Structure formats: C-alpha cells, structure tokens
Chains A and B, each alone.
Chain A
Amino acid sequence: MGQRLIYLDNNATTPTDPRAVEAMLPYFYENPGNAASRNHPAGWVAEGAVDTAREQIAALINVDPREIIFTSGATESDNLAIKGVFEMYARKGNHIITVKTEHKAVLDACKRVEKMGGEVTYLDVDSKGLIDLAELEAAITDKTILVSVMWANNETGVIQPMKAIGEICARRGVLFMSDATQAVGKIPVDPKETGVHLLAFTSHKMYGPKGVGALFVNRKNPRVKVTSQMDGGGHERGMRSGTLNVPGIVGFGKAAEIAKAEMAEDAARTKRLRDKLETALVGMLEEAYINGSVEHRMPHVTNISFKHVEGEGLMMTFNQNIALSSGSACTSASLEPSYVLVALGLGDDLAHSSLRFSLGRFTTEEDIDATIKQVAEGVNHMRELSPIWEMYKEGIDIDAIEWSEH
C-alpha cells in the first residue's frame, strides 16, 4: 500500500469536490434550520440556501428553478417520474415505452407499473447500443403516456439520439422522460431544447455529495404533473414530501455551479486521457474490442472486452491499485453477465470479458499511464492461464466445442 488508489469508477460514483464539501459545512451546525420552518431566521437561512442551490442546478440544465424537485437520488427520481406519471395520467392511457439497456431503477419501476396494470414496451438496441427511431415511433399507441430513454448509458457511455426522440414524442403527444444521471454535469444537457419533460439526475455522479438528487418536471407547454410517491408534509410543490437535506442540497448546488463553469474543460481533458487509454490497450493487446458506439459516447467512458479473459479474475490482478468495474457478474449465483452488453448482442463470453473505465475530474495522466501498464500485464497474465486463449491460438473453433453447462 502507501500508493494512491487510481480511481476509474466515476460512473459508479464521483469523489465529492472539496469546494462542494466546503460549501456544505456551515449547514450542519452553524445553520441548523429546516427549510420548511417559515417563522424564524434559522429556517429562512436554510430556505435561502436551498433556493440558491435550486437556481444553480436549474442554471446547469437551463430550466426554471421552480421546475426542480429535490429527491434522495436518481433512483427515487426515476421512480417518482415513472410511477408518478402512470398514476397521474391513468385516464389518458396505461402504456409506457422504455429501452432494454436502461438502469434497473427505470426497468424495475416499469416492472412495478406492469404489476399495477400498466403495459410496458422494452425497445431493443443495435450493436452500437442505440435505439431504432422507427421502432420507437411504431411502438407508440393511443394508450401511450410516457417514453423513458436514458440520456447516456452507465456501462458503455452511449448517448441516445435525444433530440430526435423528443421530436417524435412532441409530434405524437406523449411525455418524454430521461434518466440523465450519467450525462448531467458532464456534457451539455438542455431538456427544454431537447423536448424532455421529466429529467432524473443525481448529485453524486457530478462531484456532489451522495443522498441527494433531482427531478426536473416541465411546468409549461405542457404542464406536467406527477402523483407523489411519498406522503407527508407536502414539500416540493406536493410532489415529494420529506424534510429537505439542506447540506446535501447546498453541496449539490455548488457541484452544479462548478460543473457549469468547468464542464467543457473537464470533458476535453478526460476525453484526451480516455482516448489515450483506449488506443493504447486496443493497440497493444490482440482481440480487444470497444463496446458500444464510439461516435455517440460520453467523453470519459470506455468499455472494452478482452477476449478469452474473465473480467473479474482480470480485475483481481490489479484491484489493489486500480478501482474500476467489470461486466462479469461472477459473484452472483446466476453467473449472468451484464444485461446491457448482452442487449448490444455481445455473446455471454465477451460480456464476461469486459472492463468499464470511467474517468473523472481528478484523473491524472500518471493514473492513465499506470493503468495502461497494469491492465495490459493483467490481460497477458490471464491469457497465459486461459485454456480458451490457448485453443484460440491453436486455431480451434471454440464455438464448436460442446461445453458442459454447470
């Protein structure tokens, strides 16, 4: 040990920017107020701090502050949007359209909707991870109330054609919701210009603290309403009861302000480092494949499969020094690899062989140089141990072997 951990798992969570931490500190002890306490200065200070944060966050996505509903995170925002629309618009219809590569927070909220009598269409993606617009259009019926498509995928970084989807939804008169957890704060996200009516995102993926998120709900043309999923004091315009997490919201606001100012610079820097990492690994190692579209992709993410090497074992060669994620799920009893990669048409074997590198604001050139070296050594070591790599090298058709399932 003694060595700094190289952190390339920023799609899981980002470190909190010290400037956001600094902004939060006065709201634990010095300013303890509840933002809903309207009758004394402590409450007013808290309310003022929340108002400022709401403005900072609204400014980041170019919306009105009154359109921001604070939640506990993107999972809650996704649930509130999907179940809230399903209940609110029950008289209009019961059909929701989403995509197979969505985050579980969306997919499982949709499954709940199905149990509540709703109907859900799960769109396929192509080998690049992108949906087919004609297929989306064809799936819309007179019962469709909501289309939910994530802005950028958490595993591959692939960005969907948001504006084109927004145009279809506007033309067909259905609401458009997006889980933009991985996009907000990293690339320009403007829901109004894109035709998105509900946008879910969270603080801890954009260098703010964990435990606070937001849902943008369009106020005008159309005026969108969601049925609250939490009963109580009627906070957040009745859409989300519960005492506001004032320090968290302040940190979220500060993180949004920093992101707005530094996004372009962060994106350009991480893209250069990501490209360096990707080019080096794919160039040095045989049978390494980038998963998902490279044209329509977040600047800080790359997902690479190293054929004939199992991702979790590979990670064990360097996980004392480097933190990242694998598409292999060898720890689960089912042994099922990433459903996102499988939806792209990857065989289970390639999905098991994948690593996701997600860079961030604090990633350095030295981090990337060390990662290239250690990952390449790990892949070579694991291939020396791999019987299927040996067979591949001998020209044996691995797909023709009758494997014993277990």
Chain B
Amino acid sequence: MAYSEKLLDHFKHPRNVGTLNKEDKGVGTGLVGAPECGDVMRLQIQVDPVTQRITDAKFKTFGCGSAIASSSLATEWLKGKSVDEALAIDNMAIVEELALPPVKIHCSVLAEDAIKSAIKDYQEKNGLEVTATVAAH
C-alpha cells in the first residue's frame, strides 16, 4: 500500500506529541479506541476561558501509521480554532488531506471522535452546555 507524502510526513515527524495536565480546568481530554482493537488515541486541548479558543493541542496514539498521522493532523487543525469551529471538523476532511485508503477510514473516524470527546470533557468540566456528541460505533 502506497501512502501519501503528507501522511508519511505526519507519521515520521508527528506534530504536537505530548501531554497536557488533565487536572487543569482549561484542558479537555479525549481518550478513544481500545488496545485490543489496535488503536488508542488520546487527544487533549487547552482552551482559553475568555475567548473560548483552542490555544494548544497535544496527542499520543497507539496505532498504525494512518492513526498516528490522523491524530497529528487533527492537533494541527485544532490550534487557533474556536470550540464551535473544532466541532465542525469532519473525518472526511482528514481522509482527503491524508489521502487515506478505504481500509484506513476508521482512523479518521477515531480522530474525529477524539476531538469531540476532548471538547465534551472540557465542556463538562466547566459546567458549559455540552454541544459535542460522540458517536457510538
């Protein structure tokens, strides 16, 4: 299977790898997937309480190259976006950007879930209206 240049670049040089303090009120953490399925993504966002904009995003992923690239790309896209804008990120945009083959589409779905799950965590923590809905698969 030949992967796109963009995918290989994100795989070899993943952006925003790391961990934010999940006890921080401004941090939302999404942990999706399962080790026995071969994919676990943890995506975290740091939200500015005044502007409601995402100032930082970090990830760590256990999974195949497509899963790692999808989460790396997601963190890049999240930075600077408002929470509402972040919620609008669709998995198919990730599929297109990385040219994911059909068998790897689930990796982009997982990345979208991770974004929504991180936002949900942030909203719940701060007593905000929860607008993020995490799909069940």
Report which A residues bind B (CB closer than 8 A).
Answer: 308-310, 312-313, 316, 328, 330-333, 335, 337, 347-349, 352, 384-390, 398, 401, 403-406
Number of A-B contacts (CB under 8 A): 99
The winner among B35, B40, B104 for most chain A CB atoms within 10 A is: B35
Instruction: Judge whether B37 is part of the interface by a CB distance below 8 angstroms.
Output: yes
In the complex, identify which listed stretch (B59-67, B79-87, B120-128) lies at the interface while the others stay far away.
B59-67
Identify 10 new A-B residue pairs, CB closer than 8 A, beyond the known A313-B65, A403-B37: A312-B64, A313-B64, A331-B104, A348-B35, A348-B38, A384-B17, A385-B61, A386-B40, A389-B62, A405-B34
Interchain CB contact (< 8 A) of B68 among A347, A385, A406: A385
Binary CB contact string for chain B from 30 to 64 against chain A (1 if under 8 A, 0 otherwise): 01111111111110000000000000000011111
Instruction: Judge whether B28 is part of the interface by a CB distance below 8 angstroms.
Output: no
User: How close is A148's CB to chain B, nearest CB, in angstroms?
Assistant: 30
User: Which applies to chain A's interface (DSSP): helix, strand, loop or mixed?
Assistant: loop
Report the Cα distance A388→B60, complex, angstroms. Answer: 9
User: How close is B64's CB to chain A, nearest CB, in angstroms?
Assistant: 4
A313→B106 contact, CB < 8 A: no
Q: Chain A residues with Cβ under 8 A from B21's Cβ?
A: none
Report the Cα distance A388→B137, complex, angstroms. Answer: 21
Which residue in chain B gives the minimum CB-CB distance to A390? B60
Query: Can you name 30 A-B pairs with beta carbons within 8 Å?
Result: A308-B35, A312-B38, A312-B65, A313-B62, A313-B64, A330-B63, A331-B1, A331-B103, A332-B103, A337-B38, A348-B38, A349-B35, A349-B36, A385-B14, A385-B17, A385-B61, A387-B42, A387-B60, A387-B61, A388-B35, A389-B62, A390-B60, A398-B35, A403-B33, A403-B34, A403-B40, A405-B34, A405-B37, A406-B110, A406-B137
Instruction: Judge whether B109 is part of the interface by a CB distance below 8 angstroms.
Output: yes
Which residue in chain A gives the minimum CB-CB distance to B117? A404
